Amino acid sequence: MIKKNISRRSLVKFGAGALGTGILTAGISSNLVVSEQAVAQAVVQEEKKDLTPEQALQSLIEGNQRFVTRKRRSPNQTPTRLVEVAKSQKPFASILGCADSRVPAEIVFDQGFGDLFVCRVAGNIATSEEIGSLEFGSLILNSKVIMVLGHKRCGAVDATIKGAQVPGHISSLLDAIQLGVEKSKNLPGDKVENACKANILVQVQKLKSSLVLSQLIEQGKLKVVGAYYDLDDGKVTLLS
């Protein structure tokens, strides 16, 4: 207790001399906040060095848990981090997500600049271009896990179930989702939810059939999983 009081008096004395009594409280408070942020940033960075695929996946799950429980750390979102990754990147995870505006990956997984390699397209489908991008993210950038992230009440999936007549290139999206719809049509329960989840698993298998990605999986350098995002509570649930 005595040591604590002495330390506090010393800090006050130093702060008064350097800043003046008028801004002492604000200055100390600000410095402490910056210090805590710096420590948290260093811890996060250390945790993400040389992650295994399993650890990378766990980092995503833990980030989502923080998001759901309103305990976000908002790591790697400072101006310092922006400059740090300006010339190079090493994302620890890749996300193949839906283009839906309600599912921003960095927010729902509580990540920041340079953490996630994100591909987004309506229906979270693995087109040739998306697969090529994710091959690059894994082979060149060393991402350790690819998550296909579908979500509740996906409009593209719903339109596919209903056989919607759509203009332009929209039909190519529905064609890519059709296999998932077919696989789920005899399942009990909510048809859209069943189809959304089946579609996620179809896209996971497409990714795993990639020669580049399958070799990385066999070498233990990559994990490919499917997950379902609940729009109502923000929770991500693994499917595979």
**132 in the same domain as 25:** no
CATH code where residue 196 lies: 3.40.1050.10
Instruction: Kindly tell me if the per-residue pLDDT of 30 is higher than 60.
Output: no
End-to-end alpha carbon distance in the chain: 53
Give buried/exposed letters for 104-135 (b at 16+ CB in 10 A, else e).
ebbebbbbbbbbbbbbbbbbbbbbeebbebbb
- Contact by Cβ (8 Å): 150, 228: yes
pLDDT for 36: 54
**84 in the same domain as 23:** no
**150 in the same domain as 94:** yes
**193 in the same domain as 230:** yes
Stretch 181-187: mean pLDDT? 96
Instruction: Kindly tell me if the per-residue pLDDT of 42 is higher than 60.
Output: no
Give buried/exposed letters for 176-186 (b at 16+ CB in 10 A, else e).
bbbbbbebbee
pLDDT for 240: 83
Domain span at 4: 1-47
Structure tokens at 55: 């650890």
Stretch 219-230: mean pLDDT? 98
The rounded distance, in Å, linking the Cα atoms of 58 and 147 is 12
**pTM listed for this prediction:** 0.81
pLDDT for 25: 40
With a CB cutoff of 8 Å and minimum separation 6, the contacts of 167 are none
Q: How does the average pLDDT of the chain come out, rounded?
A: 87
Instruction: Kindly tell me if the per-residue pLDDT of 229 is higher than 90.
Output: yes
Of 54, 32, 78, 218, nearest to 145 by C-alpha is: 54
Instruction: Kindly tell me if the per-residue pLDDT of 8 is higher than 90.
Output: no
pLDDT for 43: 47
pLDDT for 50: 85
**13 in the same domain as 85:** no
**39 in the same domain as 1:** yes
Instruction: Kindly tell me if the per-residue pLDDT of 11 is higher than 80.
Output: no
pLDDT for 3: 40
Structure tokens at 8: 């506090």
Q: Which amino acid is at 68?
A: V
pLDDT for 162: 97
pLDDT for 16: 41
- Contact by Cβ (8 Å): 117, 95: yes
**193 in the same domain as 218:** yes
Identify the residue whose tokens are 């922006």: 82
pLDDT for 109: 98
The rounded distance, in Å, linking the Cα atoms of 137 and 134 is 5
Instruction: Encode pLDDT of 98-150 as tens digits.
Output: 999 999 999 999 999 999 999 999 999 999 999 999 999 999 999 999 999 99
The rounded distance, in Å, linking the Cα atoms of 174 and 161 is 9
Total domain count, the chain: 2
pLDDT for 12: 38
Of 44, 127, 131, nearest to 92 by C-alpha is: 44
Domain boundary residue, one of 47, 63, 78:
47
Strand partners, 236: 229
**148 in the same domain as 39:** no
**217 in the same domain as 120:** yes
**221 in the same domain as 115:** yes
**69 in the same domain as 5:** no
Strand partners, 146: 94, 224
Instruction: Kindly tell me if the per-residue pLDDT of 64 is higher than 60.
Output: yes
Lowest-pLDDT choice from 40-44, 75-79, 199-203: 40-44
